[in-house]
Structure 1
Amino acid sequence: MDALAVALQAVWSDSGFAAFTVGNGIMIIVGIILLYLAFAKGFEPLLLAPIAFGCILANFPKTGFEEEPGLMQAILYGIHYEIFPPLIFLGVGAMTDFGPLIANPSTLLLGAAAQIGVFVSLMGAMTLGFSVQEAAAIGIIGGADGPTAIYLTIKLAPHLLGAIAVAAYSYMSLVPLIQPPIMKALTTQKEREIVMDQMRPVTKFEKLAFPVAVTIVISLLLPPIASLMGMLMLGNLLRESGVTDRLSDTAQNALINTVTIFLATGTGLTMKAENFLTYQTILIICLGLVAFAGGTAGGVLFGKIMCYATGGKVNPLIGSAGVSAVPMAARVSQIVGQKANPSNYLLMHAMGPNVAGVIGTAVAAGTMLAMLK
């Protein structure tokens, strides 16, 4: 009996139950809640579901995920050494049509204006006691670009990765709820009813020259984001070339789906109780909302300036798409505009600032890296 008791004691001591804490239990419940939001409510399920399950896995004690070689360590390697975000950008580029931005280059200004939320939140975070590196990582939530947020956070504040990633992806999924009240509050009924002129056709040469030119200029100006911008533009070249359909199809389907699973699961694996259950996490969630709302407001307000400058030819609603939640933010511009004027069709016009927002957020991240790292 003594031998049996010793054996059972050894089994218990080696089990996760022996080291299980209240914090682990809370985080597992958080993971289950996130799964519910992903599956039952449809909040970015492709991203939130693997993040949630990664969070659950991270809070099982004694798994050895970070110490022992294996799949989980390989996934964490891909997170910490910035492999997955550029690959996500490759797929995003292959799925994105830059035509609306090329046809109306002035919408690049709307994408830039929407980055105001990043810097408002950065200053707010510094005021609340975060270091400038932590504040920069928190502020980038306002760009509504998950891969860029992860990329910047890993470089500047890796200990905040779980909280920042969850905030970024949660607010991306809530675009249809957060943006319309801000858009309506900052515009008049007459402004929302504006019907914009049809955009000019874009030539194939322009579509091929644009990603090459952007890659050269931005990579030389901001080398820290050359991998992000290079992969984004390579994906777009594969899409537009007309002779690399197989590669484009792989990038925008099989590859991005595979990498999304690894990136999101790896992000969840960073959500350990000791890292996540802190006062800082609550502040990050709140500051992320400020950043996102500020970005939306900045885009709409600059849209009003463009409306005035063009004699009423620009509908300010497209400015809200300056955050880089592609194409969800552009669809919200379309929906709000069509409610004001059923004959209004803003989707393609809003895709210009939406695509510009992807570039703008990456540029903001690169600027922070150049200044702070």
Structure 2
Amino acid sequence: MEFLVEGLRAVTWQQVVMYLVGFVLIYLAIRKEYEPSLLLPMGFGAILVNLPFSGVLDQTLQGGIQSNGIIQWLFHTGIEASEAMPILLFIGIGAMIDFGPLLTNPLMFLFGAGAQFGIFAAILLAAALGFDLKDAVSIGIIGAADGPTSILVSQVLGSRYIGAIAVAAYSYMALVPIVQPFAIRLVTTKKERQIHMEYHPGSVTKTMRILFPIIVTMVVGFVSPQSVALVGFLMFGNLIRECGVLHTMSETAQNTLANLITVLLGITVSFSMRAEAFVTVDTLMILAIGLFAFIMDTIGGVLLAKFMNLFLKKKINPMIGGAGISAFPMSSRVIQKMAMEEDPTNVILMHAAGANVSGQIASVIAGGLVINLVSRFL
């Protein structure tokens, strides 16, 4: 009983706030099924690291005995020292992606680039609000709509806000079905959302599918060397999928590896959700900037499609541009659902999927580019 009373007395109001944050993330994961593989471990981890005298963190016990906490050790080993966890996750993501729709219609590459507009808009906003360059860039990368990329960039640049950035990135990825329809309707008309697009699946040879990840890795390596770890592991996962001789390994990467790393990454990131570092005005600002970044990503892609329609005979449904964010495959499904709400006969899923996988490539390239640019200025 004495230890219980001592623990309760040690609880701060900031820790109580973090317990509530943890419960909200767990609720969204279980009740709403918003990215449960990520939000559930993050939510539970937020509770673990904020318990008084928590054994999951390093601490000095009576007698000067040093106790090493498992979550702090995982954070140092898997993220802080090597960025291994977010990078390894890209093998699994790459093994899940079918680049066929993109290779069939290379025009979709443009939407992957256009939908990164939110990154740069958010960087400018964060800088205007007083964040220093490294933190502003780390916050802006939330606009990549890619949790592992956000974690990696903020860690490499030494941002003080990795926890808030990770929560914002993954939370808004989970809220894509809510955020994107709102943003798209802001800048499109009903007539534009009803535009039909015929899909003619081209012949994508096995040789092309095998060469694509190799060529992309080499090109990106020359253009943006800091992106090689992200793009290279993403493309390596895709090569495992497409080579045709590693079926078991491909299935393992897509399921066992991806799920294991996701669970570990989610609970490990919670180390940065300790109350003293997380419950601040800056955190609220980061969450607001992250939302702004996601909205501007979507609007940027949509406006690019509308601009292209000024010159194209066969018009593009501008909602396709919104699918250029990296939230794969959720964004393409959201776009298809919106199209069918406007016209039940309108099937644009494969076009949206092409833009969506393009966004996956563009987001990791953008992450490497901002690291490269910032390192030149500092």
Q: TM-score, normalised by structure 1?
A: 0.93
In 1, Cα distance between equivalents of 2:71 and 2:288 = 30
Per-residue deviation, 1:66: 4.1
In 2, Cα distance between equivalents of 1:243 and 1:16 = 56
In 1, Cα distance between equivalents of 2:227 and 2:52 = 36
Q: Deviations over 1:42-76 (max 9, x none)?
A: 22111100000110011023235343446324421
Per-residue deviation, 1:17: 3.9
| Structure 2 partner of 1:23 | 14
- Structure 2 residue identity aligned to 1:120: A
Q: Deviations over 1:288-335 (max 9, x none)?
A: 011000000000011112223222332111100111000110011111
In 2, Cα distance between equivalents of 1:192 and 1:29 = 39
Query: How many residues end up aligned between the 2 structures?
Result: 364
Contact kept, 8 Å, 1:175 with 1:329, in 2: the verdict is yes
Task: Determine if the alignment matches structure 1 residue 59 to structure 2 residue 50.
Answer: yes
In 1, Cα distance between equivalents of 2:110 and 2:245 = 32
| Structure 2 partner of 1:99 | 100
In 2, Cα distance between equivalents of 1:331 and 1:367 = 29
Q: TM-score, normalised by structure 2?
A: 0.92
In 1, Cα distance between equivalents of 2:203 and 2:186 = 34
- Structure 1 residue identity aligned to 2:139: I
Contact kept, 8 Å, 2:48 with 2:56, in 1: the verdict is no
| Structure 2 partner of 1:163 | 164
Contact kept, 8 Å, 1:179 with 1:296, in 2: the verdict is yes
SS, match of residue 356 in structure 1: helix
Contact kept, 8 Å, 1:182 with 1:293, in 2: the verdict is yes
Percent of counterpart pairs with the same letter? 45
| Structure 1 partner of 2:74 | 75
Task: Determine if the alignment matches structure 1 residue 224 to structure 2 residue 226.
Answer: yes
**Which is worse superposed, 309-318 or 265-274?**
309-318
In 2, Cα distance between equivalents of 1:314 and 1:26 = 46
Gaps of 5+ in 1: 1-7
Cα RMSD after superposing both structures: 1.7
Match runs of 1:217-366 below 5 Å = 217-366=219-368
In 1, Cα distance between equivalents of 2:211 and 2:345 = 34
In 2, Cα distance between equivalents of 1:198 and 1:18 = 64
Contact kept, 8 Å, 2:122 with 2:140, in 1: the verdict is yes
Per-residue deviation, 1:97: 0.4
**Which is worse superposed, 21-30 or 362-371?**
21-30
| Structure 2 partner of 1:141 | 142
In 2, Cα distance between equivalents of 1:254 and 1:74 = 23
Contact kept, 8 Å, 1:183 with 1:297, in 2: the verdict is yes
In 2, Cα distance between equivalents of 1:188 and 1:296 = 15
- Structure 2 residue identity aligned to 1:248: S
Contact kept, 8 Å, 2:25 with 2:39, in 1: the verdict is yes
Q: Deviations over 1:195-232 (max 9, x none)?
A: 21223221111111110000111122222221111110
Corresponding residue to 1:201 among 200, 203, 213: 203
